[in-house]
């Protein structure tokens, strides 16, 4: 297993380099001049030239890229012009908020989509099947920012059931001592259940808004995989042994249908990380998505490149994790390795 993981890490190196190259090129194609942006409301030509020199933008592109690669190899992602802090420090401070939101969103999407897909496959063509397909298609077709605004309007403004969309915790409340950066886990570790309840209340609406976009593809993949497995020869043979129905469905059929679901869950997680950019802005969530959006508006090259690179690394790690789970779920994959 370790050898397989190391092999996948080695294969990911060219991918990461490609991401670095493309993100560097794309940020240089952004409209606007960051030197003008940071020179103030009435900049002089001399001030713009000085700022451009300070940002090393007066150098040739190949020289800028070479310097960027050397700094990356030393763990230096540059300094954000907006916050004045090293980008890696900004990302480390904001990443737990994004992971907490994305992780709960994926969990909600899996808890809803897998039962819907299984029921749809078991009762193909029934009213429940059509209802689950309608729900998954509708959820997929609604943009996350629209769903988020709609949830805020209904549950905060009209009904008053949800807290104000102003971050991870009540502005007047005290967060638990930082250990992992995850409000729920830190609250449990500190025994601060009031913070846990407050953090969970602030997580619900953005998590649902984000999860809805993942429910559609996961439900369809689960339903399709279950239909394929249920019509396979080994399932016909298993039925002839007069096994309990729950054992046939949940032990044999669902377990064999999980491989494509795992693959799709990995893609959905990566998609949710990117979709966070808008949802975090709607809910004033202090994650890397809102950080990247502010950096993009200000043409803060180092921050944007740091965001793209961190998302790419997350994507690689998720794929490696999925490959490991393949071996756990399906013994054929483990034996082939």
pLDDT along the chain (337 residues), means of 10: 72 80 76 68 74 75 83 82 85 91 92 90 86 83 85 92 87 83 87 88 91 88 89 82 80 83 84 83 88 81 84 83 76 65
Q: What is the pLDDT of residue 32?
A: 66
Q: Comparing C-alpha atoms, which of 145, 321, 117 is closest to residue 217?
A: 117
> What's the predicted TM-score (pTM) here?
0.82
Residue 81, C-beta contacts closer than 8 angstroms, at least 6 positions apart: 34, 38, 55, 298, 300, 302, 303
Q: 188, 85 in Cβ contact below 8 A?
A: no
- Report the sign of the C-alpha dihedral through residues 114, 118, 119, 124, in that order: positive
Q: Could you give the CA distance from residue 55 to residue 253 in angstroms, rounded to a whole number?
A: 58
Q: What is the pLDDT of residue 205?
A: 92
Kindly write down the DSSP assignment for every residue of 156-209, as one continuous string.
IIIS--S--SSSSS-TTSPPPPPSSS-HHHHHHHHT-HHHHHHHHHHHHHHHHH
Q: What is the pLDDT of residue 154?
A: 93
| Domain 94-287, CATH among 3.40.50.300, 1.10.10.60, 1.10.3720.10, 3.90.79.10 | 1.10.3720.10
Domain with CATH 1.10.3720.10 in the chain: 94-287
Q: What is the pLDDT of residue 273?
A: 82
- Residue 172 sits at the vertex; the CA angle it makes with 170 and 175, to the nearest 5 degrees, is 65
Provide the strand spans (E) within 82-128.
none
- Report the sign of the C-alpha dihedral through residues 326, 328, 332, 334, in that order: positive
Q: What is the pLDDT of residue 105?
A: 92
């Amino acid at each position: 297993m370790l050898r397989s993981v190391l092999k996948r890490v080695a294969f990911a190196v060219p991918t990461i380099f490609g991401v670095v190259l493309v993100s560097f090129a794309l940020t240089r194609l952004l409209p606007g001049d960051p030197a003008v942006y940071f020179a103030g409301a009435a900049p002089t030509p001399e001030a713009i030239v000085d700022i451009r020199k300070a940002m090393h933008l007066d150098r040739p592109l190949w020289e800028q890229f070479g310097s960027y690669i050397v700094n990356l190899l030393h763990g230096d992602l540059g300094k954000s012009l907006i916050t004045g802090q090293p980008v890696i420090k900004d990302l480390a401070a904001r990443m737990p908020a994004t992971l907490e939101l994305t992780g709960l969103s994926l969990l909600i999407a899996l808890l809803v989509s897998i039962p819907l897909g299984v029921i749809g496959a078991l009762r193909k063509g029934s009213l429940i099947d059509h209802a689950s397909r309608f729900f998954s298609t509708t959820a997929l077709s609604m943009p996350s920012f629209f769903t988020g605004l709609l949830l805020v309007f209904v549950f905060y403004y009209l009904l008053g059931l949800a807290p104000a969309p102003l971050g991870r915790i009540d502005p007047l409340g005290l967060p638990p001592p930082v250990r992992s950066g995850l409000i729920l886990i830190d609250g449990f570790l500190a025994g601060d259940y009031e913070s846990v309840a407050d953090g969970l209340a602030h997580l619900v609406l953005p998590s649902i808004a984000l999860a809805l976009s993942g429910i559609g593809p996961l439900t369809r993949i689960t339903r399709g995989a279950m239909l394929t497995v249920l019509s396979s020869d080994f399932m016909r043979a298993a039925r002839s042994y007069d096994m309990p129905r729950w054992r046939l469905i949940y032990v044999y059929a669902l377990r064999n249908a999980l491989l494509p679901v795992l693959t799709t869950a990995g893609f959905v997680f990566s998609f949710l990380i990117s979709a966070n950019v808008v949802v975090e802005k709607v809910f004033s969530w202090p994650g890397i998505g809102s950080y990247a959006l502010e950096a993009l508006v200000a043409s803060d090259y180092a921050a944007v490149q740091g965001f793209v690179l961190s998302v790419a690394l997350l994507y690689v790690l998720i794929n490696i994790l999925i490959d490991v789970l393949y071996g756990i779920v399906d013994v054929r994959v483990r034996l082939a390795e």
